[in-house]
Copies of this chain bind each other. A is one copy, B any other.
Amino acid sequence: MSNTLIAEKGEKSADLLHLEAFMPYRLAVLATLVSDSFSTTYSDRFGLTIPQWRVMAAIGHAPGSSASKICTYANLDKVQVSRAVAELVQRGLVRRDVDEADRRNMMLTFTARGWHIYENIVPVARDYEKRLLEGFSEDERAQLDRLITKLAERAAAL
């Protein structure tokens, strides 16, 4: 009876894979949860998208970087960086000057307003991270750090 066969398959397969215990799924859910709650805290206050926030972080980290440096540093593709920068320039937070040493490159720096915003976001970000890791011992933090690095290495190899 094909109906019975299908039902049996269903019962068997139910034990084969539980999404809630499946590592790629768990990582995706966790990252989305963290990302959403974090981005809420800064998009509410500063009106930045995730790529915009990362570009700000990249410029703050290394002012004068080119867009392609930012792609690498912030793990964004060049279209995302191009658009994020355009918007930040538009809003008067970032300056985009041609690098005279190689006129293909853009030199990206903050305006005074950009620095102001950046210096306000950084403590918010630090505080978010602090609250996220509240209740984690020094040992747990070190473990987490190590395990994430190890996982990223493995994933990059697959």
Copies of this chain, how many? 2
Given contacts A37-B158, A128-B24, A135-B150, contact A122 B13 (CB under 8 A): yes
Q: Which of A55-63, A80-88, A96-104 contacts B (4 or more CB under 8 A)?
A: A55-63
The CA of A75 and the CA of B25, in the complex, are separated in Å by: 9
Once the chains are docked, how many angstroms separate the CA of A125 from the CA of B17? Answer: 8
The smallest C-beta distance from A11 to any residue of chain B, in angstroms, reads 9
In the assembled complex, which residues on chain B have CB atoms less than 8 Å from the CB atom of A119?
9, 13, 16
Are the C-beta atoms of A158 and B132 separated by less than 8 Å? Answer: yes
A79 and B17 alpha carbons, distance in the complex (Å): 24
Q: Which residues on B sit within 8 Å (CB–CB) of A7? A: 63
Give residues 9-40 of A contacting B (CB, 8 Å).
9-10, 13-14, 16-20, 22-35, 37-38
**Is B156 touching A13 in the complex (CB atoms < 8 A)?**
no
Evaluate whether A22 and B125 lie within 8 angstroms (CB atoms) in the complex, with A30-B152, A132-B154, A143-B143 already known.
Answer: yes
Across the two chains, which residue of chain B brings its CB closest to A144? B147
Contacts A62-B14, A115-B9: A73 and B147 contacting too (C-beta < 8 A)? no
Q: Assess whether B30 is in contact with A155, with CB atoms less than 8 Å apart.
A: yes
**A74 in the interface (beta carbon within 8 A):** yes
Among B17, B31, B109, contact of A57 (Cβ-Cβ < 8 Å): B17
Q: Which residue of B lies closest to A147 (CB)?
A: B144
Chain B residues contacting A6 (CB-CB under 8 Å) are 109-110, 112, 115
**In the assembly, what is the distance between CA of A148 and CA of B140, in Å?**
11
Within 8 A of B (CB), among A121-158: 122, 125-126, 128-129, 131-136, 140, 143-144, 147-148, 150-152, 154-156, 158
